[in-house]
Amino acid sequence: MISVENGVFKLDTPNTTYLFHIMETGHPVHLYYGPRLAETGDLAAYPTGTNLRMPTFVNYSDAAPRLYMTLPLLETSSWGKGDLRQGAFAGELGPSGEIVFDFTFSDWRIESADTTHTSHLPAARKDHAQTLVLTLSDKPTGVVMELRYTVYEDSDMMVRSCAVINNSREPLTIRSLASLQLDIPETDFEAITFNGGWARERTVTRAPLTVGTFGIASNAGSSSAEHNPLFLLSGRQGCYLFNLLWSGDHRETIEVTPYDTIRVLTGLNPEGFSRLLNPGERFDAPEALMAYTAGDENEASHISHDFISRYITPLAWKNRERPVLLNSWEGMGLDLSEENIIRQAASAKELGVELFVIDDGWFRPGLHAIGSLGDWEPVKNKFPDGMKRTVDAIHDMGMLAGIWVEPECISIDSDLYRAHPEYLVRSPGRDPSPGRDQYLLDYTRDEVVDLIYEKLEKLIAENGFDYVKWDMNRYFSDDHAPNVRGGEFRFRWMLGVYRLLDRFTRRFPDLLLEGCSSGGSRFDPGMLCYANQIWGSDNTDATDRVPIFSGTSCGYPQCCFGAHVSRIPNEITGRVYDYETAFNVNAFGAFGYELDVTKLNETERRMFSDQIAFYKENRALLQFGKFTRVEDGDEVIWTVENEDASKLIAFYLEKRAGVFRHRIHRLVVPSCRSDALYRVTARRQWITAPGMCERRGGPHLSESFERTVPGALLRRNGMALMPVFLGTEYKEDTAFLGDYGSRLFLIEKIA
């Protein structure tokens, strides 16, 4: 996978090659990243930018008068030797704050085993992998930079990271350190980023690149709903995908130079960050992910889905089907008691639900989400004898039991605050800023990590919970902790949380952990190292979930995406759609319900039971199948397929009834095999629209639809759908869709 010859480093994944060499000056220069190369040929043939002549540029040195550091494609970069682009590293050394650094080759080695070098940072597993460690140093000062490249036998994803070791005699302040730098000699790309806010997380933004710097960043203290660290560069020559294993602030920049090159940097956000390294100390930046495919965005996301499932998320739930859950939040609010929970759980069990999740409220005496954060004791007025009896009752019904916690925050009105006001993060002399009436707990302190660990350990072990929803409902402010330098606060804080997550998940390796942050405000590969799934969004309106899921699926596998059917009309948007579309959308995720199931009418109960039965029957495919976005306009088509494309499920949705009436409705499924014959059947779902019910005397099952279809037709022209109701005839084979009408199609190979 990794070979090194005459200063040329060749890193091969199954389908790609990454190539760089060490120039005479000692700088690692990037040669190539693209489809796999059998032979490398002449190095002089690679467009590295080392042969352009410009009068305004600074010559690197007398010995290398023709080298202008702003032109070459470099593996790393710093300030002060003529590179005018944004650098991967910036620092200040010694009392005078020297800022010139120039890292050149010292050494290299290959690590083969899973020698995860930084247990305090989330890390991808490194089995079936080799890691190239390239050591560079700034010769006059002795400051060392380590570039790490991990290449896998069976994945086109590469893991990159970077460390700085202060081998000088002076203290070094790191101002910025990107985890990954990639310089490439082409610029014709669209940058695809995933942005939004609360209740509209990770929706797709496409920006054609032009000369200048395009960037996104999070200053929230969290990877944030505003800008996810995932991004893609998509162009005629293929697609690059990047991500970062970090759940705090991050910055991604794509700099298009006037010399037809691009520099990509991703890593910690330098704003609000600095790190003091005393002589002998080392600092590791988080790991970054990088993939290239000659294919399109779907191909890039397949690489990412596969990698996250095999090398990032905890192994105990790898390929293990996620239970259908009922979460108490939207249905019961904070009105929780043993009796209420058991009533809901019993009703949910009849529908086929497998996991009951007790959300916020079990530790707060009142009916508002205020107070008691940090205490993590069941409150007496709701659970006079604790929660064990409730959990046992759920278990006795044959269901799993889950609990909600928010371990990173503290309320002023809590026993924890009364005992330890110093644990609340505040900046000296200022009133701390509340977020949702709560404050940050000081995770830079080991005693806070230990204390919260003990409380959580007791809660889970004593009551026997099988699942935990780990929420975090505010962004950062008032960055300060005693004995921690201001610029180090957020980094050290996040490490404290990771330490807690690490210890907690080691203690309960079988527990299913679901991350959450006011919905999906912290959805990143760092969290996914500990949590197998993350709640997708507080926006449970199925029609709004479509763009949220389409965006999320560009980088994250569907089994990681918590997806629930909630009450209609929707609580946030007030929108009315039907429960079958709500199911069809959310079936592409870690599925559940979030509403008062005791209030369902008879038709809804039959409908939900049918949905759950269908989901369970097809769950392996829905959760772990290869996911593809086919259409994403007024019609939406998603598909999942098994390994040999002999079984697929397609989702078809029409956003606005009537818009397409004069078009041929068709289902295009590019993942079908051209040479195969398929049987396509539509899931029969309940039609409850009043006008249709009048025509048929009440709620009824949708049209029966079965076709035998050649794979080549499904791939190319698409299969004609059933006739859609046009206002006059409503026959046995007519489909009623309406606004946001949808169907699921089962596609099975028969020959």
- Residue nearest ligand DGJ by beta-carbon distance: 360
- The DSSP call for residue 587 is T
Stretch binding ligand DGJ (CB under 6 A), from 102-110, 202-210, 516-524, 639-647: 516-524
Q: For this structure, is 471 an active site residue?
A: yes
Q: Which residues sit opposite 631 in a β-bridge?
A: 637
3-class DSSP state of 422: helix
Helix axes 579-586, 542-552, angle to 10 degrees: 10
User: Rounded to whole angstroms, how far apart are CA atoms 135 and 148?
Assistant: 9
> Contact, 736 vs 722, CB < 8 A?
no
Q: What is the closest distance, in whole angstroms, from the C-beta atom of residue 564 to ligand DGJ in the complex?
A: 9
Which of 466, 485, 474 has the alpha carbon at shortest distance from 432? 474
Q: In angstroms, what CA-CA distances link 220 with 80, 245, 270, 737?
A: 31, 16, 13, 41
**What values do phi and psi take at 495, rounded to 5?**
-60, -35
Residue closer to ligand DGJ (CB basis): 357 or 649 = 357
User: Rounded to whole angstroms, how far apart are CA atoms 54 and 60?
Assistant: 13
Question: How many CA atoms, within 13 angstroms, populate the side-chain half-sphere of residue 254?
Answer: 28
Interaction between residue 538 and ligand DGJ (CB under 6 A): yes
Stretch binding ligand DGJ (CB under 6 A), from 16-24, 40-48, 511-519, 597-605: 511-519
Question: Both tokens of residue 4?
Answer: 């090194």
- Greatest CA separation found in the chain? 91
Active-site option among 83, 284, 471, 578: 471
Interaction between residue 593 and ligand DGJ (CB under 6 A): no
Q: What is the closest distance, in whole angstroms, from the C-beta atom of residue 497 to ligand DGJ in the complex?
A: 17
Sites for ligand DGJ among residues 255-314 (CB under 6 A): none
3-class DSSP state of 605: helix
Q: In angstroms, what CA-CA distances link 424 with 76, 89, 409, 438?
A: 39, 33, 8, 10
Interaction between residue 586 and ligand DGJ (CB under 6 A): no
Active-site option among 360, 413, 538, 544: 538
3-class DSSP state of 591: strand
User: Rounded to whole angstroms, how far apart are CA atoms 487 and 479?
Assistant: 9
Interaction between residue 535 and ligand DGJ (CB under 6 A): yes
Interaction between residue 519 and ligand DGJ (CB under 6 A): yes
Interaction between residue 544 and ligand DGJ (CB under 6 A): no
Q: Give the number of residues in contact with ligand DGJ, rule: CB under 6 A.
A: 12
> Contact, 197 vs 225, CB < 8 A?
yes
Residue environment code for 391-409, b if the CB has 16+ CB neighbours within 10 A, otherwise e: bebbeebebbbbbbbbbbb
Q: Do the bridges between strand 103-111 and strand 129-138 make them parallel or antiparallel, or are there none, so unpaired?
A: antiparallel
Q: What's the per-residue H, E or C state across 441-456?
A: ECCCCHHHHHHHHHHH
Site string for ligand DGJ, 400-439 (x = CB under 6 A): ----x-----------------------------------
Residue closer to ligand DGJ (CB basis): 198 or 705 = 198
Interaction between residue 473 and ligand DGJ (CB under 6 A): yes
End-to-end Cα distance, the chain? 38
Interaction between residue 518 and ligand DGJ (CB under 6 A): yes
Q: For this structure, is 502 an active site residue?
A: no
User: Rounded to whole angstroms, how far apart are CA atoms 585 and 555?
Assistant: 18
Stretch binding ligand DGJ (CB under 6 A), from 8-16, 162-170, 515-523, 732-740: 515-523
Q: What is the closest distance, in whole angstroms, from the C-beta atom of residue 472 to ligand DGJ in the complex?
A: 9
Q: Do the bridges between strand 262-268 and strand 250-256 make them parallel or antiparallel, or are there none, so unpaired?
A: antiparallel
**What values do phi and psi take at 133, rounded to 5?**
-110, 115
Q: Any idea which residue has 């097809």 for tokens?
A: 618
User: Rounded to whole angstroms, how far apart are CA atoms 78 and 521?
Assistant: 32
Choose which of 20, 329, 383, 740 interacts with ligand DGJ (CB under 6 A).
329
Choose which of 92, 299, 471, 544 interacts with ligand DGJ (CB under 6 A).
471
User: Rounded to whole angstroms, how far apart are CA atoms 78 and 90?
Assistant: 6
User: Rounded to whole angstroms, how far apart are CA atoms 323 and 616?
Assistant: 9
Site string for ligand DGJ, 358-397 (x = CB under 6 A): -xx--------x----------------------------
Sites for ligand DGJ among residues 104-123 (CB under 6 A): none
Question: Both tokens of residue 640?
Answer: 């999942």
Interaction between residue 523 and ligand DGJ (CB under 6 A): no
Q: Do the bridges between strand 741-749 and strand 677-682 make them parallel or antiparallel, or are there none, so unpaired?
A: antiparallel
> Contact, 625 vs 319, CB < 8 A?
no
Q: Of how many residues is the chain composed?
A: 751
Stretch binding ligand DGJ (CB under 6 A), from 248-256, 286-294, 514-522, 542-550: 514-522
Question: Both tokens of residue 491?
Answer: 């980094």
> Contact, 584 vs 319, CB < 8 A?
no
Note the residues at the interface with ligand DGJ (CB under 6 A): 329, 359-360, 369, 404, 471, 473, 516, 518-519, 535, 538
Catalytically active residues are 471, 538
